[in-house]
Structure 1
Amino acid sequence: MFAQLLNMTSHGFKSSKQDFTFGPWKVTATKTHIMKSKDIEHLAEDMNLPSLPEMLFGDNVLRIQHADGYGIEFNAIDALKRVNNMEDSVKVACAQEWQENSEHSKEVMKPYDWTYTTDYRGTLLGGDTQITVTETSDRIDLEKLKAREQIMFFDEVLLFEDELHDHGVSMISVKIRVMPTSFFVLLRFFLRVDGVIIRINDTRLYHEASGM
């Protein structure tokens, strides 16, 4: 079952919300406008960070929830909570130059991870069911993912992006595709500091319909 809702915000930005039902699971992908400056400032204060990504989609979310209430969602706020607000992640001349030229440098000299590197893996939804996370030796069957199946639902949700004052890019987004037999989720944090570093943190989730 598939439903889609589109509307225009007062600023002319197209927002969308898509729902898709896969057995007992409901997938919801919500995309809307960038957070307002005043809201970003308040959020930065709460997180004890001098600044936040220039393109922060605080209301964007991808949620996968079982009929029993448990599940997982991906949102920008929880991803930013995993950013180091005490020290730099990349201690190089490029980072120093960025900080010296930053509009925030005159306001605060507090060190923080200006690349917004995060190891965020999603936010668990418990409902009335207690969820526990344990290590496993199980691995995703990549051969099954390579099989040509009909894609019944696909979406990509951007959580935040920053061009690091023209020194590269830092971004995190999540994609989902649902096939007749399974669904696959890829959450990716991507960082490129020009001439210095490329960093990718991936989280992959795979669920087979037989395990419903």
Structure 2
Amino acid sequence: MSATDMAIPIESITGLVLAGGRGSRMGGVDKGLQSHLGMPLALHALLRLAPQVGEVMISANRNLAAYEAMGVPVWPDPIEDYAGPLAGLLAGLEHAQTEWLVTVPCDSPNFPLDLVARLAAAAAEQDAEIAMAALNEEGQLRRQPVFCLLRTSLVESLVAFLHAGERKVDRWTARHRMVEVVFDEPADFANANTTDELRQLQR
């Protein structure tokens, strides 16, 4: 499916690269700035996402100038203490000027080139508020909650959820009309949580 055939117009979707984590499994380094094939991981994600959406942003909490040098808006979490991916998601929802927001993590540089088109097609077809990637691993479906397309009108719901002290993605998405979109290539979603995983990606 090409961008021109998309079920939701490309200019109605803002892309968000999630780079606000602590990187605790990588020794506390800023994961999005780790070099992968000569470029920061987050820049790989940004360049892969940009053709699939209308606008792009980055969610980050450290080294903001380094992320701003990538040439797109950078937003820190509106909630303190590294509240997890939902806090980065909230930053995106608060700043997106479009009807839809799609998120990808900074540490998965090979996600599908038709990721957004497939999520958009499923959301439109099912009249869903959220479309989430799920990976088919030997017959077992595993949700990939950081690969997610959602309506920006959900911002108030997420604010209320986070202010109630909740942090779990699946508990929040369960409150809304959600569709899973199944992908069959685990390698497309391979991520670098640890230094060893980053080395494996570079092979």
TM-score range relative to shorter protein: under 0.3
Larger Rg: 1
TM-score (norm 2): 0.26
Higher relative contact order (CA 8 A, sep 6+): 2
Name the structure where strand makes up a greater proportion of residues: 1
Give the TM-score, by structure 1 length. 0.25
